[in-house]
Amino acid sequence: MLISIPARSDNYIWLYARENLPAIVIDLPETSNLFAFLNQNQIAIEAVLLTHNHDDHVAGVAEFKYHYPEVPVWGSIECANCANKGVTRIIDEGEIRTANYRIQVIPSGGHTANYVSYLVEGHLFCGDTLFSAGCGRVFTGDYAQMYDSLQRLGRLPDETLICCGHEYTLSNLAFAETVLADKSAVRNQIEIVHRQRAEDKPSLPTTLGLEKKINPFLQAENLDEFIRLRQAKDRF
């Protein structure tokens, strides 16, 4: 089971579970839609994973911990400093082993300094580092760190499912169409995503193989090109 639960204006809370097993929750911008889904479907939670400390990804943690105090909340050191919104278990890289899952923790800094992504059975939960046809803003100013993070994620298998934290796909594709030499894949994806959104369906997850065709930031051949693209997107 892979479920994207809409939150706020354009966030997603992700749930992942194998059949008949408790689920993993990735990021908690809020809890109302999540709690409704859990109650309606009688789903147990095994762990919460936080990608970074921005409020639109952790604002619901305190409320979640109040209702599910026994569920561990994992995240990097930056999430430990969020008062009641923080983690109960800190990890910056390596592997998380829960009762039913082995989760690879991938350092993905750049959007924030101690950012982490999570790879679970071919599903990459990357929050605001990698978007469909885009990437997150470099709030740290460390473009080299962000470029290295995207290169690291780009080495995963092409069939990896990319589960991003926001529904930014159409705006990202509009930018990609202006900068990529080969626009055919981008234009085809624009048509697909327009149909999905018209039916109120998410454009996610995507696959890494598709992203290599439509995402200019994964195609950047060096740091200078990445900086040029990222700054152009900031002005777009």
> What average pLDDT does the segment 43-48 reach?
97
Question: What percent of the chain clears pLDDT 90, i.e. is strictly above it?
Answer: 94
Query: What integer best gives the mean pLDDT of the chain?
Result: 95
Residue 87: the pLDDT is 82
Residue 86: the pLDDT is 67
- How many Å apart are CA 87 and CA 119, to the nearest integer? 19
Q: Do the beta carbons of residue 90 and residue 96 sit within 8 Å?
A: no
> What average pLDDT does the segment 51-59 reach?
92
- How many Å apart are CA 115 and CA 193, to the nearest integer? 28
Residue 82: the pLDDT is 64
Tell me the domains of the chain and their CATH numbers: 2-235 (3.60.15.10)
Place 88 in a pLDDT band, splitting at 50, 70 and 90: confident
Q: Do the beta carbons of residue 91 and residue 78 sit within 8 Å?
A: no
- How many Å apart are CA 66 and CA 179, to the nearest integer? 47
Residue 31: the pLDDT is 96
pLDDT tens-digit readout, 189-219: 999 999 999 999 999 999 999 999 999 999 9
Question: What percent of the chain clears pLDDT 70, i.e. is strictly above it?
Answer: 97
Cα atoms in the 13 Å half-sphere on the side-chain side of 36: 7
pLDDT tens-digit readout, 103-142: 999 999 999 999 999 999 999 999 999 999 999 999 999 9
Write the single-letter amino acid at 23.
Answer: A
**Residue 11 clears pLDDT 80, i.e. is over it:** yes
